[in-house]
């Protein structure tokens, strides 16, 4: 069987490789010429554990190849990004152009699957009309489904196989046809449902996490006021069998949690009150972090060492990162900031990156903004020797400090205003 995958990013490329490994003849399509050239040499343009080996193997056996143009196939998978506009509404232009690009190659009986994250009703109101206009009645002439992706970067190849899949068809037969496609390699359950339920379920998973983190961040603000240790409260409350408060931090980043809730808000702004407030609360955390920094330094001219720029620990992705927002804001306001992140390359950012020693030298404060493993235990001798004032503000509650000479503050031990 033949598969055409449009979009070879973090989802499309591993998905293409998995289908190819399990016997499908796969054509991976992307507008990025460099990505296609690399793929056809058996190399990849993104970082993901285990992926280079699988891609090298399936390209060598001829099961996967890259192309700038879609081709006829039994099944088409669209896995292009859904960025958001300045007003936080979904920008569906990639999904629309990817769907348009496969239309000339469609034949009766084909299965069309949208994996990109989309606002509720997009399959019914945006994708189906494109196919209908081209003369294919969705659910009758071609089968149309939304199968949202829920894999976690760093574990993609494992989660693609093991996770439960939601397969939402525009009608029941479409869901069944799409489920048959994934049954090729998915070992988790495959849940068949409607396209609309699938769209909403995907968005609610990330919204649940965002709202829960907002609750933890709100608790930090309340605790600062009342002089309570928020982190201790979370840990105590989480001993209850039905409570799972998430962890507070300098904000919520990434292309999923910080974006997907807006796709619900845009469709039901009056009703999505808690969801919108959670976004607002999480977006307020960079400013809250800067307020805490100010409490710990002697003046605006004091040197601050910012540790960590990525949106979460042990990855190299700085897009949609609250740590970047904090560093950029401090620099913009004229603070004296040095930046250290062992996972980030100089080309990724506009300001200059320092090594550990240069970053901490003469600084009055280290502010930890990302929970990289490298920050969990630091070289305390260097810190006490080189820093003007040995202090750490740990927004991720990840650093273990053993030397009493180092002042350690986290979001549980903020000075109360009482």
Helix (H) or strand (E) holding 169: strand 165-169
Instruction: Check binding of 361 to ligand SAJ (CB under 6 A).
Output: no
Q: What minimum distance in Å lies between the beta carbon of 255 and ligand SAJ? A: 7
Helices (H), 115-242: 122, 128-133, 156-162, 172-182, 195-226, 230-237
Instruction: Tell me whether residue 187 or residue 384 sits nearer to ligand SAJ (CB atom).
Output: 187
Q: Taking contact as CB under 6 A, which single stretch among the options 18-26, 39-47, 98-106, 205-213 is the one that binds ligand SAJ?
A: 205-213
Among 65, 72, 209, 221, binds ligand SAJ (CB under 6 A): 209
Q: What minimum distance in Å lies between the beta carbon of 256 and ligand SAJ? A: 3
Among 66, 138, 249, 261, binds ligand SAJ (CB under 6 A): 249
Beta carbons within 8 Å of 214's beta carbon, 6+ residues apart: 252, 277, 278, 279, 281, 282
- Strands 165-169 and 143-146, sheet pairing: antiparallel
Instruction: Check binding of 246 to ligand SAJ (CB under 6 A).
Output: yes
Q: What minimum distance in Å lies between the beta carbon of 219 and ligand SAJ? A: 12
Active site residues: 202, 256
Among 59, 64, 252, 339, binds ligand SAJ (CB under 6 A): 252
Among 6, 256, 297, 337, binds ligand SAJ (CB under 6 A): 256
Of 342, 399, 340, 337, the C-alpha closest to 371 is 399
- Cα separation, 351 vs 370, in Å, equals 18
Q: Between residue 130 and residue 159, which ones bind ligand SAJ under the rule CB under 6 A?
A: 149-153
Q: What minimum distance in Å lies between the beta carbon of 319 and ligand SAJ? A: 11
Among 12, 70, 169, 253, binds ligand SAJ (CB under 6 A): 253
Q: Between residue 94 and residue 133, which ones bind ligand SAJ under the rule CB under 6 A?
A: none
Instruction: Check binding of 14 to ligand SAJ (CB under 6 A).
Output: no
- Cα separation, 92 vs 83, in Å, equals 8
CA 157 to mean position of chain CA atoms:
16
- Backbone φ and ψ for 84, nearest 5 degrees, come out as -115, 150
Among 200, 257, 327, 359, binds ligand SAJ (CB under 6 A): 257
Structure tokens at 306: 């910012």
- Cα separation, 213 vs 310, in Å, equals 18
Structure tokens at 39: 């793929």
| Helix, strand, coil percentages, rounded to 5, for the chain | 40, 15, 45
**Torsion from C-alpha of 128, 132, 134, 137, nearest 10 degrees:** 110
Instruction: Check binding of 308 to ligand SAJ (CB under 6 A).
Output: no
- Total interface residues for ligand SAJ by CB under 6 A: 19
Instruction: Check binding of 247 to ligand SAJ (CB under 6 A).
Output: yes
Q: Evaluate whether 247 touches 209 at the Cβ level (below 8 Å).
A: no
Instruction: Tell me whether residue 123 or residue 128 sits nearer to ligand SAJ (CB atom).
Output: 123
Site residues, ligand SAJ (CB under 6 A): 149-153, 205-206, 209, 213, 246-247, 249, 252-254, 256-257, 311-312
């Amino acid at each position: 069987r033949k598969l055409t995958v449009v979009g070879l990013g973090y989802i499309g490329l591993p998905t293409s490789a998995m289908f190819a490994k399990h016997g499908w003849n796969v054509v991976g399509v992307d507008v990025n010429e460099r990505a296609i050239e690399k793929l056809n040499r058996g190399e990849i343009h993104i970082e993901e554990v285990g992926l280079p080996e699988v891609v090298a193997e399936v390209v060598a056996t001829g099961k996967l190849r890259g192309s700038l143009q879609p081709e006829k196939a039994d099944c088409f998978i669209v896995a292009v990004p859904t960025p958001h506009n300045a007003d936080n509404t979904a920008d569906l232009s990639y999904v629309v152009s990817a769907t348009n690009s496969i239309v000339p190659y469609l034949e009766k009986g084909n299965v069309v699957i949208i994996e990109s994250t989309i606002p509720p009703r997009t399959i019914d109101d945006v994708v189906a009309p494109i196919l209908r206009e081209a003369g294919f009645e969705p659910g009758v002439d071609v089968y149309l489904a939304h199968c949202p992706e829920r894999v976690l970067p760093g574990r993609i190849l494992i989660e693609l196989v093991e996770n439960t899949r939601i397969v939402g068809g525009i009608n029941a037969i479409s869901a069944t046809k799409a489920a048959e496609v994934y049954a090729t390699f998915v070992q988790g359950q495959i849940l068949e449902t409607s396209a609309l339920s699938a769209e909403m379920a995907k968005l609610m998973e990330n919204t649940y996490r965002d709202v829960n983190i907002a609750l933890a961040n709100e608790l930090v603000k309340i605790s600062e006021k009342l002089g309570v240790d928020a982190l201790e409260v979370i840990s105590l409350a989480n001993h209850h069998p039905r409570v799972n408060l998430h962890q507070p931090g300098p904000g919520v980043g990434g292309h999923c949690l910080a974006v997907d809730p807006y796709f619900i808000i845009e469709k039901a702004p009056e009703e999505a009150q808690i969801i919108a407030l959670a976004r607002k609360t999480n977006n307020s955390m960079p400013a809250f972090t800067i307020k805490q920094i100010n409490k710990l330094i002697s003046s605006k001219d004091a040197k601050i060492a910012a540790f960590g720029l990525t949106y979460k620990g042990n990855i190299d992705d700085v897009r949609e990162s609250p740590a970047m927002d904090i560093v950029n804001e401090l620099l913009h306001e004229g603070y004296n900031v040095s930046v250290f992140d062992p996972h980030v390359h100089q080309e990724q950012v506009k300001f200059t990156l320092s090594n550990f020693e240069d970053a901490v030298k003469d600084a009055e404060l280290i502010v930890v903004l990302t929970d990289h493993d490298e920050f969990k235990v630091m070289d305390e001798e260097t810190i006490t020797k080189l820093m003007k004032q040995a202090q750490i503000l740990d927004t991720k509650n990840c650093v273990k400090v053993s030397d009493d000479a180092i002042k350690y503050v986290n979001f549980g031990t903020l000075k109360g205003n009482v």
